[in-house]
Amino acid sequence: MEILISLIKIVIVLFVLLTSVAYIVLLERRVAAAIQNRIGPNRVGWQGLLQPLADVVKLVMKEDIVPRQANKFIHDLAPIISIGVALATFAVIPFGNRIALFGHDIKLQIADVNIGILYILALTSLGVYGVTLSGWSSNSKYSLLGGMRSSAQMISYELAMGLSLIGVIMIAGSLRLDTIVEAQVAWRWNILLQPIGFITFVVSSFAETNRLPFDLPEAEPELVGGYHTEYSGLKFGLFFLAEYANMVTASAIITTVYLGGWQVPFVHSLGLSDVSVSIIQVLGFCFKVGMLIMFFIIIRWTLPRFRYDQLMNIGWKVMLPLAIANLLATGLVILLKWV
Amino acid sequence: MNVEIIFFFLVAALAIVSAVFMITRRNPVKSVLFLIVNFFCLAVVYLILHAQFIAIIQILVYAGAIMVLFLFVIMLLNLGDESRLAEKTTYRYWIAAIAAGAALVEIALGVGVSLGGTHGSFHPAAAEIGTVEFIGRSLYSEYLFPFEVTSLILLAAMVGVIVLAKKKFH
């Protein structure tokens, strides 16, 4: 029975994740169009709502081209690593409190492990492989440059990311993600307790997901397409999917760690039944994640791209010292019991 | 035979196969990939032993950071075929053969000794040892001095790297 419940949770989460990724692509194109004073895709279905399906059909029908000198096996493996890592991170994210359905007390989280945050950090550090290996195995200058840039970038920003999380871990006193969410009851959200940590974490998330203003690995004007220049058809589609899935995962992590996760303030004072409170909390979680994704999209179409040396300077000379200062300040406050 | 033991043998076999492939591949990038597979198998073995923290650190530090740097260096230097890098000197082969033989004898003796012993039962407190809380507590109380010494060594290495990297600009 336990296994069955877990399987159902996995299927639902994957289905929601992949569907929302398809529609985030559409949302991004419509928002970009609005910002640039265009209309955007609105032909397939009402307001373009069937456009993601059309895109998928197009990608599946395309020919899969592999460069002659490429390393075929690693060329095939790289997109699988990318998408696998992007989806696996969602396993530890709590998207709701417990819910009692059909006589079962179900925890709305796929895997409740006591090293939740370390698991997320380990998976994000593995994401580098997909990008690096695709760049190397394509045997093309542009791909290799994109792959190298991205590995350097991801290694640099992982440090700031990990260090900003330590402040939150110190406040909650646990690496368990559901304990961290439970500690943020009412308005004790970590964004208010850890504003500097929040900023460094969000900036590092932009760099880790390779989004503008930090999308150096795939800077089109310089690198043609970056690490996925030599990919086509469904394998390119997997990279595309992985990029957007990473964005959703990053938003979900930010929500869980800094924005109170599934906590909705004042929901208990409304006098609703337990099941409806749980459903409102899940919807609250989805709402916060949606707002963050909108933030990601608007930033992409508002800010210009950084130069490569600027990117490295920000990572090592601004973000890292800020994260360390935040860590020391948090330690001092906890030691003196001011909170 | 319970599931855990079957699972252990599967993972252990995969670890040995990937280790052998790591040594025999001509292409250094493939060697790195097989080493990563090997690290993952080790992490799974740690998980079977209820050592969650060590398992995740194995992936985070070795697979996630150190091997990325290996891959980075191999790609940067564009190391192609191993034959170009082959050593001319033969005495190293002899030293390596002796060292490998000694290690093999040691492992064989160790396995022989443990086969002769009796099976202990699984102590419930053993699962506690693998948790983050336990490792953190013993690291900062019992093993505080070795911990601080290690951090000093790491600091020295970091300073050394900065000095070496700065040299270019003078």
User: How far does the CA of residue B59 sit from the closest CA of chain A (Å)?
Assistant: 6
Average pLDDT of chain B, as a whole number: 83
Q: Which residues of chain B make contact with A119, given a CB cutoff of 8 A?
A: 56
Q: Which residues contact B22 (CB under 8 A, 6 or more apart)?
A: B31, B34, B35, B38
For residues A123 and A82, give the distance between their C-alpha atoms in angstroms, rounded to a whole number.
10
CB-based contact A126 B53, cutoff 8 Å: no
pLDDT at B20 > cutoff 90: yes
Per-residue model confidence (pLDDT) at position B169: 56
Interface of A with B in 223-252 (CB under 8 A): none
CB A190 within 8 A of CB A168: yes
For residues A283 and A6, give the distance between their C-alpha atoms in angstroms, rounded to a whole number.
20
Domain ranges of chain A: 65-335
pLDDT at B148 > cutoff 90: yes
- Of A207, A29, A178, nearest in space to A109 by CA: A178
Q: Half-sphere exposure of residue A34, counting CA atoms within 13 Å on the CB side? A: 9
In total, the C-beta contacts within 8 angstroms joining chain A to chain B are: 61
Residue A105, Cβ neighbours under 10 Å: how many?
8
Per-residue model confidence (pLDDT) at position B21: 92
Q: List, for residues B83-118, the tens digit of each pLDDT value.
A: 555 656 678 888 888 999 999 999 888 888 777 766
Q: Which residues of chain B make contact with A78, given a CB cutoff of 8 A?
A: none
CB-based contact A148 B36, cutoff 8 Å: no
Selected for mutation to probe chain A from B32, B35, B59 (highest A CB count within 10 Å) is B59
Domain ranges of chain B: 1-84
Q: Which residues of chain A make contact with B63, given a CB cutoff of 8 A?
A: 122, 125-126
Interface of A with B in 28-87 (CB under 8 A): 71, 74
For residues B100 and A30, give the distance between their C-alpha atoms in angstroms, rounded to a whole number.
63
Bond from prior residue into A213 cis (ω within 30 degrees of 0): yes
Burial B104-122 (b: 16+ CB within 10 A, else e): eeeeeeeeeeeeeeeeeee
CB-based contact A119 B56, cutoff 8 Å: yes
pLDDT at B153 > cutoff 90: yes
Per-residue model confidence (pLDDT) at position B42: 92
What is the block-wise mean pLDDT of chain A (339 residues), using blocks of 10 residues?
Answer: 84 89 89 89 83 86 82 86 89 82 76 84 86 82 80 82 88 85 81 87 87 72 73 84 89 89 78 81 90 90 83 86 90 80
pLDDT at B22 > cutoff 80: yes
Q: List, for residues B33-85, the tens digit of each pLDDT value.
A: 899 999 999 999 988 888 888 888 888 888 888 888 888 888 777 665 555 55
pLDDT at B170 > cutoff 60: no
Interface of A with B in 148-177 (CB under 8 A): 148, 151-152, 155, 158, 175
Per-residue model confidence (pLDDT) at position B145: 93
CATH (residue range B1-84):
1.20.120.1200
Q: Which residues of chain A make contact with B136, given a CB cutoff of 8 A?
A: none
CB-based contact A136 B29, cutoff 8 Å: yes
Selected for mutation to probe chain B from A73, A75, A117, A126 (highest B CB count within 10 Å) is A126
Per-residue model confidence (pLDDT) at position B104: 92
For residues B106 and B109, give the distance between their C-alpha atoms in angstroms, rounded to a whole number.
5
pTM: 0.85
* SS3 state at A54: helix
User: CA-nearest residue of chain A to B71?
Assistant: A132
CB-based contact A132 B63, cutoff 8 Å: no
Q: Which residues of chain B make contact with A126, given a CB cutoff of 8 A?
A: 59, 63-64
User: CA-nearest residue of chain B to A135?
Assistant: B75
Q: Which residues contact A171 (CB under 8 A, 6 or more apart)?
A: A183, A190, A193, A194, A330, A334, A339
Report chain A's C-alpha Rg in angstroms: 21
Which tokens hold the place of A282? Answer: 């899940």
Selected for mutation to probe chain B from A113, A125, A150, A208 (highest B CB count within 10 Å) is A125
CB A130 within 8 A of CB A78: yes
CB-based contact A126 B64, cutoff 8 Å: yes
Per-residue model confidence (pLDDT) at position A230: 79
CB-based contact B65 A125, cutoff 8 Å: yes
Q: Which residues of chain B make contact with A132, given a CB cutoff of 8 A?
A: 68, 71-72, 75
User: How far does the CA of residue B117 sit from the closest CA of chain A (Å)?
Assistant: 34
